[in-house]
Amino acid sequence: MSGPLERVVKEELGLSVLKGTGVSGGGCINQGTAYDTDKYGRVFIKVNSKSGARTMFEGEFASLEALAAPGIVRVPKPIKVIDQPSGGAALVMEYVEMGGGLHKYAAQLGEQLARLHLHNGSLESAARMAESNVHKLEGGPHYVGKFGFHVNTCCGYLEIDNTWRDNWQEFYANMIENHEGDRQARELWNKVLPKLPRFFDGVDIKPAIVHGDLWGGNASENNEGPLIFDPASLYGHSEYDLGISYLFGGFSGKFYEAYHKIFTTQAQHILQSGNHTTIRITTTI
């Protein structure tokens, strides 16, 4: 990190100490460095100099907050998005020690992801009770009944239009329409679009908070268990995460087996508890 940005970070966060540790990392999109501070302990600062960096990092900040809120899966705690003096932006977050990929805790992450995907649906009955109660519930988690997110997020450099929609197929169709593909892909999409509702006929998809870019490179573990990072979250179909994980790989059979076991069991529990939510269960591994 350059000197000018270090000065801005210290000023924005009210730090007296911001000392490089020599630990760095990154990928094809962003680069990052770990620093010791007097106020937040060790932090990790991701930087990107492109014009869309603030949108990307604000989306990641909001995604990390949303994933952490249910207390189910571990993610780095976001601290602040800061503009770089020379252009672009930086995202300051909690530094979390990571191993090389996901191995020992693959099954545990599968279980956690299933619970995360079912969490919002489990809040629906509480929301219905609150609506009929004279004493309305104040604060705490509330059921999200639409598909989308309160900010746009980015999958790599690809910005996702997260405008709220009433149903999954409408949200998904809008997502695809906003990104031009090659001519052949566009022609095929125009044939699929009118038939899209048929794929969800009789299935009531409830919004689930998803990671949005879940593949092996965005998951790891340490001595405390698994963790996920670099999200592009939204409230969507739970199988959105599974689709990306199959496409880009990096997860073992133990991960999927644990996911489907928990998802199936808890979905049935939701149905039996009187919450008339219809949930589509995938069993293919």
Q: Is 179 in a helix, a strand, or coil?
A: coil
| Torsion angle of the four alpha carbons 27, 31, 34, 38, in this order, in degrees rounded to the nearest 10 | -140
| CA end-to-end span of the chain | 43
Separation of alpha carbons 101 and 269, rounded Å: 33
Catalytic residue list contains 213: yes
Q: Which of 182, 204, 213, 230 is catalytic?
A: 213
Separation of alpha carbons 264 and 59, rounded Å: 31
| Torsion angle of the four alpha carbons 233, 239, 242, 243, in this order, in degrees rounded to the nearest 10 | -90
Q: Which residues, in sequence order, are CB contacts of 137 under 8 Å at separation 6+? A: 126, 130
Q: Is 69 in a helix, a strand, or coil?
A: coil
* Residue 183 half-sphere exposure toward CB, CA atoms < 13 A: 0
Q: Is 89 in a helix, a strand, or coil?
A: strand
State the residue for tokens 């690809």: 158
- What residues are labeled active site? 213
